[in-house]
Amino acid sequence: MIPHYSSRHIIKPGITGYAQVMYPYGAGAKDARHKLMYDLYYIKNWTVGLEFKIIWKTVLTVLNYKGY
């Protein structure tokens, strides 16, 4: 079990997220820990600016065909 993993469920899931745009797809426990780090950062440091950054990075990912 990964410590603090359940903290991710404090917020509702959306179409995209900070972990999704900052870290590539991963299937292992190590990757889950890295994505959790980004999720917890998002929860603790949420701002409108961070939200726009996520949206912008999502648009760039889609337009550049770099989705994982």
Chunked into runs of 10 residues, the chain (68 residues) has average pLDDT values of 84 87 84 91 95 94 78
Q: How many CA atoms lie within 13 A of 34 on its CB side?
A: 12
Tokens 């550049």 found at: 64
pTM of the predicted protein model:
0.79
Tokens 């603090």 found at: 4
Predicted local distance difference test score (pLDDT) of residue 42? 94
Predicted local distance difference test score (pLDDT) of residue 11? 84
Is the CB of residue 24 less than 8 Å from the CB of residue 68? yes
* Cα-to-chain-centroid distance, residue 66: 15
Predicted local distance difference test score (pLDDT) of residue 68? 57
What is the C-alpha to C-alpha distance for residues 3 and 12, in angstroms, rounded to an integer? Answer: 20
User: What secondary structure letter does DSSP report for 3?
Assistant: T
